[in-house]
Chains A and B, each alone.
Chain A
């Protein structure tokens, strides 16, 4: 199949080169299909004359002609002689554009769920995961209906990249012309790009992955597998004897072009953070990447520009959120409000930033919305020539078909769009679309336009000839008019027929009759002659002569940027309180006169000063001299603690924190799915927190890799990750991994704590075996002739654990499983950094202390499950007293805001010393996370992460007033009050803007319907 399509592609490109090199002498496309009946040989030679020709975004011919021969443009220019064999098309008053190219289109593909069940997907050497179908080809499923084609041609599109819809690896796209021929005749290029998304197909047979991080892990593993596959196949091909043939895998085979950069890989993303995720993968695997954008690019313009990735941009600007009532408005978020305002400006801003983008109809509810959205983008500042380029030359160049598509030039396909004006102006109409020299009429041209001012003369019987003025305006197909003489005026109902006929009916009052008068007439040049009928039935003659034509109504102000359009000035496009960048770092900060809870060897010092230089604590002591030019933090009468560190959370992630579809998913990474816009980061900063340890959930014995982040609110995800934190892996034991508490029975191994132990053992053994395989391979002198082992991200992570390069965080409740896991750790020689939850840790605290394993507990949770029934709030104290490094964690975005007073529970239950208790949420967390060299206490040389409190930090009555991270002030109660004001003003502004926009729309509608009503009368 692949070979065949490759040769087809080869054929098409050769054909194409051939076309370019030879004088255009091609007749109709050669086809192998026999003709039934008579052959059709109407000459395919056309001359479009007297047109305004937009050859390309840069080049316009004010009046010229285009000669089309056999589907190609033969010549174009201001003074080209029409060949004698050409059919002439008078394009007077028309503007001709190059055909548009939709570079992300699902036309002709089965809708949604049907899509993935292609024959290819269900048979043959397919990938184990049904979300990995790179071998699927959109072309093999392409079966466009004529309506769909018509819709796109109606918008001026003459070619489209047909892109498979669903899954993670979705398959390849095909570039087709949008004519009415068979796919075999319309294909321009197959296997143009590989398409990738981050969500599983709706009807996917595979349960893995269920989370976004799982999807990313699957992407990474599959790209690696494809690299391995290529190598393994090559080794086998070169010398098959003595080797077992490697697995055959159509998916990995199909990815060869993508990983070798011969084929672009297009990532579909849903927002700007998704863009980063895709960009990271593109970078990691050196792909030729494109992004199918989201419309949210404006939120991260600089970084998106830096990525230098081409963007395919949809125009699905949102409808106005519903804010009509106070109640409805409450539930509309800042992101939604801001996006409504900013989205239409997204193309303009990308353009100004110099990002290379193409436009698409993708994501629109209906293709017909395309122009209203596009024109809105133009009104909001997108230059029309850029818009045209984004639909013609830009995508043509990306696809490598710019010698065929994208502009009107000799030798290119005769793909043309005929309009009555500027494509980006509001009232422009598309009349024809030519696809490879074939004309498709979209709308009839106005053969008869009777609008204008006419002198009308009625030869009424028994009266003098009656002269009046007839004014006809409105739409040419349905003009409205008035018939006036002196003071009298009637509004006739006007009907225009084809064949230059028209009729008028009007009230006969003014002529002294009762009833209606009917006129009908025929236009000849500028005169109408006809017959009238009086109410009595008597006939009379009439004539009318046009004094002046009515010019086409074009709204000059609307063919470009609307000068009145207020630019979007949303200040919280990433959500309320989320800043656009990190706050400044003062060179020197002087914290004066605090009760300083150092959590270090110095304990608590009253009236203490602290000097911070460039984000690092440089001096602590009493009565220090304030450095020059320092930023002063007056902490007299206040308390200062190290920034609170949450040792266990599931904060700031998107797409799920559990990849529970398999028992072991060590390959998934929280770092891939961090949501830097999570409002809880700000809320927790407001509670004195500076860091959190984001963990995978507890759905499986081996979960994913955790991420330790600093609350650098305003940074993108990658910069939140704390650079000094060692990597880690989450394990889980007990009821959750046995799925004891889910409804229905469990069919996934393990089902018992016995099974949990065995599966852990088996995976660790697998990691050891894996290492052995690599050792053998790498130690061999004849490596080039050996089948290479496959790189396995899951086992790599476990090996790192065994090698002490990756931390271990283990969710555990009962003492038996805590012991079991420690014994396993002994056996495989790794260290457990902390047991989490660890409700019964107080029962095995001696062994934990012996192994130097931390205990990270909730202060007082219990009885929510059977394994939590022995949870006691004294656990912290008991473990602490036994020598275990204890933390109290949150596991919950709400509780995290009160970690300081959670620590107090260690004082209440078990009498832990206050200074020691505070360490439960500061230094001890740093120790458990292996970052105590940098954070966790206020000591010289450490990071300036600290919080200022208005009272003792362990008191329920104390409030956090300031929070500093890296010597930058991220939270301040006074600033917060200012921010609240901004948030509420900004909401009010946007809501007002929506309401007035709605009112304007309504008024315009009313005007329209008033017009219609008047016309009707």
Chain B
């Protein structure tokens, strides 16, 4: 309770601050959390570790940003700050996969768009170099339990490399948890327009598609040639090769150190992308995958995970069942395909996309994993985040209920042990105008 009061006071102070110096546009006034300089124990709530069954009345102890104990009975070191979470629930911090968070502020204003570079082959651009830590969108997402965002460039055929950022920090460097997390590709549409109004013949269309796919193939062939040439440097009779930033950026992909995220939705695209990834011997993650459930075996056989880009979409074909999109995560779960749920425009709504999957058959515990542990696994950071386990980052949220239910509030949030501000431009404006109407009423 006393904690709440303190928090309330903090809130009020920060509130006054923001009233006084109301927001230069496009820069949030929330102050990053201070580094964890003492042990903190969250006591008494239900700990949804995600790694195992929930622990009722459990304690989570973390020191220096790392979880040091999760159990019902934890011995606390001297000087530990004890936070009684009462009937609260503790979850790992939520992860928003496949977003543009930090790379765009207002979609309709070009000056605020930093996610799509000129040209079609841009493997070398890196999301973490352009993340705006003061984006107003970040505190809004964070306020609903989103602690990390996988932020991704877009556009062209090869869009660039993504990064996993923490939604807390003074600079992009502070915020970056992992970069690059993967190379992002837009697989060309393979749909043939056979309507009478089609402007090109079927043959012309097929040729155009093949041409675009060849562009991707060529980029990979050239990158591979570059990698081999660079590797061979210094060998007998082989001199120095000048730098090519594009192909340089692709080396980790070719060495299978990071995956290729392939955006593909149609069944033909998915089939083609998988066979391409196999022939290139790269690690592939499918993004979108609207029709992927139709070729589940192919994904399973090749161990290709899917980033489901939201469940709040319409079926793409009018004859498909009305609830098809809602049921796809459950299908993957039953088929044993690795997946996570992401790709949601307004990141704060990530949990409700998972919830819809749950309403249509996905077990609730799975729905939580789909926005915590599974994204961490797909992004290759599950050793650090995604669940509440000893040795992992103390990136977690304390809620007053199931985060998949909308009325549930996030009451506390820690990112690597730093307690972060849950307020945002939205709460500020809310508080401001509450005062307006209070004054009118009085």
Interfacial chain A residues near B314, Cβ < 8 Å: 680, 683, 893-894, 897
B318 touches A954 (CB 8 A): no
Q: Does A864 contact B (CB under 8 A)?
A: yes
CB distance from A979 to the nearest CB of B (A): 9
B317 touches A331 (CB 8 A): yes
Q: How many residues of A contact B (CB 8 A)?
A: 63
B430 touches A878 (CB 8 A): yes
Q: Map CB proximity to B onto A620-662 as digits: 1 under 8 Å, 0 otherwise.
A: 0000000000000000000000000000000000000000000
Do A330 and B405 form a contact, CB below 8 Å, given A686-B322, A956-B359, A958-B359?
no
Q: Does A477 contact B (CB under 8 A)?
A: no
B404 touches A863 (CB 8 A): no
Per the 8 Å Cβ criterion, residues 94-126 of B in contact with A are 105-109
Do A330 and B426 form a contact, CB below 8 Å, given A864-B107, A957-B358?
no
Contacting residue for A959 out of B105, B360, B407, B436, CB 8 A: B360
B interface bracket (residues with beta carbon within 8 Å of A): 35 or more
Q: Does B211 contact A (CB under 8 A)?
A: no
Q: How far is the CA of A577 from the CA of B320 in the complex (A)?
A: 10
Q: Does A398 contact B (CB under 8 A)?
A: no
Q: How far is the CA of A556 from the CA of B137 in the complex (A)?
A: 77
Q: How far is the CA of A436 from the CA of B137 in the complex (A)?
A: 80
Interfacial chain B residues near A894, Cβ < 8 Å: 312-314
Q: How far is the CA of A313 from the CA of B25 in the complex (A)?
A: 62
Q: Does B136 contact A (CB under 8 A)?
A: yes
CB distance from B151 to the nearest CB of A (A): 16
Q: How far is the CA of A862 from the CA of B359 in the complex (A)?
A: 27
Q: Does B206 contact A (CB under 8 A)?
A: no
Q: Does B319 contact A (CB under 8 A)?
A: yes
Contacting residue for A846 out of B105, B358, B440, CB 8 A: B440
Q: Does B248 contact A (CB under 8 A)?
A: no
Q: Does A895 contact B (CB under 8 A)?
A: yes
B106 touches A869 (CB 8 A): yes
Residue of B nearest to A903 (CB): B406
A843 touches B406 (CB 8 A): no
Do A908 and B407 form a contact, CB below 8 Å, given A864-B107, A882-B437?
yes
Q: Does A682 contact B (CB under 8 A)?
A: yes
Q: Does A910 contact B (CB under 8 A)?
A: yes
Interfacial chain A residues near B87, Cβ < 8 Å: none
Tell me which of B279-287, B348-356, B381-389, B415-423 binds A. Answer: B348-356
Q: How far is the CA of A894 from the CA of B429 in the complex (A)?
A: 29
Residue of B nearest to A950 (CB): B359
Q: Map CB proximity to B onto A823-854 as digits: 1 under 8 Å, 0 otherwise.
A: 00000000000000000001101100000000
Q: Does B321 contact A (CB under 8 A)?
A: yes
Q: How far is the CA of A954 from the CA of B194 in the complex (A)?
A: 43
A898 touches B312 (CB 8 A): yes
CB distance from A1012 to the nearest CB of B (A): 27
A874 touches B194 (CB 8 A): no
Per the 8 Å Cβ criterion, residues 846-898 of A in contact with B are 846, 860-866, 868-870, 872-874, 878, 881-882, 893-895, 897-898
Residue of A nearest to B271 (CB): A327
A976 touches B407 (CB 8 A): no
B107, B291, B407 — which one has the most chain A CB atoms within 10 A of its CB? B407
A865 touches B355 (CB 8 A): no
B323 touches A686 (CB 8 A): yes
A333 touches B317 (CB 8 A): yes
Do A866 and B405 form a contact, CB below 8 Å, given A898-B312, A987-B319?
no
Q: Map CB proximity to A onto B297-331 as digits: 1 under 8 Å, 0 otherwise.
A: 00000000000000011110111011100000000
B404 touches A956 (CB 8 A): yes
Contacting residue for B107 out of A682, A846, A865, A905, CB 8 A: A865
Q: Does A904 contact B (CB under 8 A)?
A: yes
B359 touches A576 (CB 8 A): no
Q: How far is the CA of A907 from the CA of B400 in the complex (A)?
A: 14
Q: Does B377 contact A (CB under 8 A)?
A: no
Contacting residue for B319 out of A328, A910, A983, CB 8 A: A983
Interfacial chain B residues near A861, Cβ < 8 Å: 346
B267 touches A322 (CB 8 A): no
Contacting residue for B137 out of A321, A863, A866, A895, CB 8 A: A863
Do A957 and B106 form a contact, CB below 8 Å, given A330-B291, A683-B314?
no
A866 touches B109 (CB 8 A): yes
Q: Does B191 contact A (CB under 8 A)?
A: yes
Q: How far is the CA of A322 from the CA of B364 in the complex (A)?
A: 41
A863 touches B433 (CB 8 A): no
Q: Does A1009 contact B (CB under 8 A)?
A: no
Interfacial chain A residues near B317, Cβ < 8 Å: 330-331, 333
B426 touches A863 (CB 8 A): no
Residue of B nearest to A335 (CB): B318
B contact face: mostly helix, strand, loop, or mixed? loop
A957 touches B355 (CB 8 A): yes
A865 touches B319 (CB 8 A): no
B321 touches A980 (CB 8 A): yes
Per the 8 Å Cβ criterion, residues 669-699 of A in contact with B are 679-680, 682-683, 686-687
Q: Map CB proximity to A onto B341-382 as digits: 1 under 8 Å, 0 otherwise.
A: 000001011001001101110001000000000000000000
A956 touches B426 (CB 8 A): no
A741 touches B360 (CB 8 A): no
Q: How far is the CA of A866 from the CA of B105 in the complex (A)?
A: 10
Q: Does B268 contact A (CB under 8 A)?
A: yes
Q: Does A131 contact B (CB under 8 A)?
A: no
Q: Does B255 contact A (CB under 8 A)?
A: no
A907 touches B407 (CB 8 A): yes
Interfacial chain A residues near B405, Cβ < 8 Å: 955-957
CB distance from A1013 to the nearest CB of B (A): 28
Per the 8 Å Cβ criterion, residues 310-360 of A in contact with B are 321-322, 326-328, 330-331, 333-334
A322 touches B194 (CB 8 A): yes
Interfacial chain A residues near B228, Cβ < 8 Å: none
Residue of B nearest to A865 (CB): B108
Do A901 and B25 form a contact, CB below 8 Å, given A683-B314, A956-B359?
no
A682 touches B406 (CB 8 A): no
A334, A869, A870 — which one has the most chain B CB atoms within 10 A of its CB? A869
B319 touches A869 (CB 8 A): no
Residue of B nearest to A578 (CB): B318
B404 touches A860 (CB 8 A): no
Q: Map CB proximity to B onto A415-441 as digits: 1 under 8 Å, 0 otherwise.
A: 000000000000000000000000000
Interfacial chain B residues near A331, Cβ < 8 Å: 191, 317
Interfacial chain A residues near B315, Cβ < 8 Å: 683
Q: Does B434 contact A (CB under 8 A)?
A: yes
Do A333 and B191 form a contact, CB below 8 Å, given A863-B105, A882-B437, A908-B407?
no
Q: Does B409 contact A (CB under 8 A)?
A: yes
B408, B409, B436 — which one has the most chain A CB atoms within 10 A of its CB? B436
A957 touches B433 (CB 8 A): no
Do A333 and B434 form a contact, CB below 8 Å, given A863-B136, A894-B313, A954-B406?
no
Q: Does A78 contact B (CB under 8 A)?
A: no
A333 touches B406 (CB 8 A): no
CB distance from A813 to the nearest CB of B (A): 12
Interfacial chain B residues near A909, Cβ < 8 Å: 426, 430
B194, B312, B318, B319 — which one has the most chain A CB atoms within 10 A of its CB? B319
Beyond contacts A334-B319, A687-B322, A874-B427: 19 other A-B pairs, Cβ-Cβ < 8 A, are: A321-B194, A327-B267, A330-B294, A331-B191, A333-B317, A679-B318, A735-B108, A843-B436, A860-B349, A865-B108, A865-B109, A866-B109, A868-B106, A878-B434, A893-B314, A894-B312, A956-B352, A957-B405, A958-B359
Q: What are 10 A-B pairs at a CB distance below 8 A?
A: A333-B318, A576-B319, A741-B108, A846-B437, A860-B346, A865-B108, A869-B106, A872-B426, A907-B407, A976-B322
Which residues does A use to contact B, with CB under 8 Å? 321-322, 326-328, 330-331, 333-334, 575-577, 679-680, 682-683, 686-687, 735, 740-741, 842-843, 845-846, 860-866, 868-870, 872-874, 878, 881-882, 893-895, 897-898, 901, 904-905, 907-910, 954-959, 976, 980, 983, 987
Which residues does B use to contact A, with CB under 8 Å? 25, 105-109, 136-137, 191-192, 194, 267-268, 271, 291, 294, 312-315, 317-319, 321-323, 346, 348-349, 352, 355-356, 358-360, 364, 404-409, 425-427, 429-430, 433-434, 436-437, 440
